[in-house]
Chain A
Amino acid sequence: MSELTTVGRQREWSPALVFGAAAGVGALVAVAAGVYGGVHDAASEPTTQWFFTSTLHFKAWMTTVAVLLAIGQLLGGMWMFGKLPFGPAPSWVGPGHRIAGSLALLVSLPVAYHCLWSLGFNPDPGGARRFWHSVLGCLFYGTFATKVLAVRSHRMPGWALPVVGGVLVTILVLIWLTSSLWFFRTVGLEF
């Protein structure tokens, strides 16, 4: 009996290995997005603009909404981990955190669609803003995939979820700095 238990434990993945596998999946997602953006023949066409002046206006504001939601998510996550001086998080913070994260992903999708389908990946490091924005955009979805796996798995190291969540917010802020902020500084705060 004790031998069976020992064998069972030996087959169980260590938390670090589970995290490594999740990070590997995230890396694959990021690389897949980059490869698509590089190989796909960019359409160079506007897509969705809804009530905004142009697709670029739409993208700049949707990215801003995603960043604001992500900052709300960060605060919610910190509250759940007891890092805010408000005492234990109420029961609504957990689902609210999930809804905000889903909303952030939702508003990012039409933006990413235009980036990948219409503009493609810019491999030229000489065009610094567009190059780094391309890299960060791919990393965002890879990190998002890792975070989803980290949330779903109960065998991750304790530090995995807050670290991946923090990296995700950081990447999104950097994406905003290399796109929306640039757009607002170039065009102005237009809708």
Chain B
Amino acid sequence: MLRRIANGFEAIVAVVFLVVVILLFTNKPTSIPSTAQGAAVDAYGLPLANAADGSAAPAGPDGAAIFKQRCASCHGADGGGSVGPQLNEGRMGEKYPDVADQIAVVTNGRGEMPNFGSRLTPEEIAAVVEYTRTVLAGG
């Protein structure tokens, strides 16, 4: 009886193993939304000019969404820190008075911090850095 259970369980685990392998090759990362969701874009994805005054609709990577997807698991949902250090309450402005230093750490990684230079565009990195220095700082 126990032997049959073991056989059945091994079969189930083998199927789960195959599913995981398939997911490794088929699952695509979540796309990062723009701040101007729903804004009209041209065929190249660039924002169309506003018909009324000719100005371009503000569009760019959503720093909050990037933070939630890429940073929150280590730094906490509110940036309060977990495996990664605290980012909220103005800590980033204190630690990196020059924003370029913080961008360099996010881009190249340091210590346990992985590099995001190959995973995020410079615009996305700038947006999430800005988010940690403004919204998360309470500013």
Q: Do A and B come from one complex?
A: yes
Chain A residues within 8 Å of B, Cβ to Cβ: 36, 40-46, 54-56, 91-92, 94-96, 98-99, 102-103, 105-106, 109-110, 112-113, 116-117, 119, 122, 127, 129-130, 183, 186-187
Contact B13 A98 (CB under 8 A): no
Tell me the interface secondary structure of chain A in the complex.
helix
| Interfacial chain A residues near B12, Cβ < 8 Å | 102
Q: Does B122 contact A (CB under 8 A)?
A: no
Contact B69 A95 (CB under 8 A): no
Q: Does B72 contact A (CB under 8 A)?
A: yes
- State which of B10, B82, B111, B119 has its C-beta within 8 Å of the C-beta of A98: B10
Contact B9 A187 (CB under 8 A): no
Contact A99 B5 (CB under 8 A): yes
CA distance A183 to B74 in the complex (A): 11
Measured CB to CB, the closest approach of chain B to A141, in angstroms, equals 9
Known: A41-B118, A127-B112. A55 touches B73 (CB 8 A): yes
Contact A186 B72 (CB under 8 A): no
- 9 new A-B pairs (CB below 8 Å) besides A44-B114, A45-B29, A45-B30? A41-B29, A41-B118, A42-B114, A54-B72, A54-B73, A55-B73, A56-B82, A102-B6, A112-B20
Q: Please, could you name 10 A-B residue pairs with CB atoms under 8 Å apart, sorted by A?
A: A43-B119, A44-B69, A45-B70, A54-B72, A99-B6, A102-B6, A102-B12, A106-B16, A116-B24, A127-B111
Chain B residues within 8 Å of A, Cβ to Cβ: 2-3, 5-6, 9-10, 12-13, 16-17, 20, 23-24, 27, 29-30, 69-70, 72-74, 82-83, 111-112, 114, 116, 118-119
CA distance A142 to B12 in the complex (A): 20
Looking across the interface, which residue of chain A has its beta carbon closest to that of B17?
Answer: A109
| Interfacial chain A residues near B13, Cβ < 8 Å | 102-103, 105-106
Contact A56 B73 (CB under 8 A): yes
Contact B114 A113 (CB under 8 A): no
Measured CB to CB, the closest approach of chain A to B137, in angstroms, equals 22
Q: Identify which of A42, A43, A54, A102 gathers the most chain B CB atoms within 10 Å of its CB.
A: A102
Looking across the interface, which residue of chain A has its beta carbon closest to that of B23?
Answer: A113
Looking across the interface, which residue of chain A has its beta carbon closest to that of B2?
Answer: A95
| Interfacial chain A residues near B5, Cβ < 8 Å | 95, 99
| Interfacial chain A residues near B82, Cβ < 8 Å | 54, 56, 187
| Interfacial chain A residues near B23, Cβ < 8 Å | 113, 117
Contact A56 B83 (CB under 8 A): yes
Contact B83 A186 (CB under 8 A): yes
Measured CB to CB, the closest approach of chain A to B87, in angstroms, equals 15
